[in-house]
Amino acid sequence: MKLLIIDDHAVVRTGVRKLLAEQFGCDIVEASEGASGLDIFQKHRPDVVILDLNLDGTGGLEIITKLLAMDPKAKIVVFTTHSEPVYAARALKEGARGYVSKSAPSDELIVAVRKVLAGRQYVDQEVASRLALCQLGAGDPVQSLSTRELEILRKLGEGCSLSDIADSLGIAYKTVANTCGTIKQKLGVEKTSDLIRFSVENLRR
């Protein structure tokens, strides 16, 4: 069995490598960002991909889409700091088979990999509970955002300027500005400062 870890923190990759190698005795390859992760996936065709959402350049949600375009049967487990249900719902919608928060006990990741290898889905217990509660509600405007819109909104909440966002995503400043306008309409707010406040309150732990 072969696993691919895509995470921009070396210490996380080292920890995950040690944990999974001990449990599965498998070959493990690594990537520190999305583009190289896609290249390594294409070359090695791992059985499972462990994917962070917070990546420089192309974000994790878009990487899910690109991995599945390469191989519709790709098995992806998201391993991220985000325990908010909006991210879990979006990742699963994009095609991830597992979702585990980095705050969850380490055995949750082991269980997720086992379940996904067996062709099943797995969401860690805390996130699953939040996701269930969220699905009881209706009309969440965040669900109307595209993957790119959600990524831009998240970066605003992290303190990035529109120029910073354009540079990190490799798109034009005007594209970011126009997308912010669309997000404002969908969320029913008027100012960029309102978007920042919304992001901080709803998309960050």
Specify the higher pLDDT residue, 117 or 202: 117
Whether residue 139 is predicted with pLDDT greater than 60 in this model: the reply is no
Tally of CA atoms within 13 A in the half-sphere of 24 that contains its CB: 22
Phi (first) and psi of residue 48, to 5 degrees: -140, 140
Whether residue 56 is predicted with pLDDT greater than 80 in this model: the reply is no
DSSP designation for 110: H
Q: How much is the pLDDT for 89?
A: 87
Amino acid, res. 125: Q
Retrieve residue 177's tokens.
């500005």
How many angstroms separate the CA atoms of 132 and 93, rounded? Answer: 15
Q: Which residues, listed in sequence order, are joined to residue 179 by a DSSP beta bridge?
A: none
pTM above 0.95, yes or no: no
**CA 185 → CA 2, 142, 182, distances in Å?**
44, 11, 5
Q: What angle is formed at CA 191 by the lines to CA 188 and CA 193, rounded to 5 degrees?
A: 115
Q: How much is the pLDDT for 136?
A: 44
Give the closest residue to 95 by CA, choosing from 128, 121, 113: 121
DSSP designation for 8: S
Retrieve residue 66's tokens.
């690109």
How many angstroms separate the CA atoms of 96 and 153, rounded? Answer: 21
Determine contact, residues 3/46, Cβ cutoff 8 Å.
yes
Q: Which residues, listed in sequence order, are joined to residue 30 by a DSSP beta bridge?
A: 5
Q: How much is the pLDDT for 170?
A: 84
Q: How much is the pLDDT for 204?
A: 60
Retrieve residue 69's tokens.
């375009």
Over range 78-87, report the average pLDDT. Answer: 88
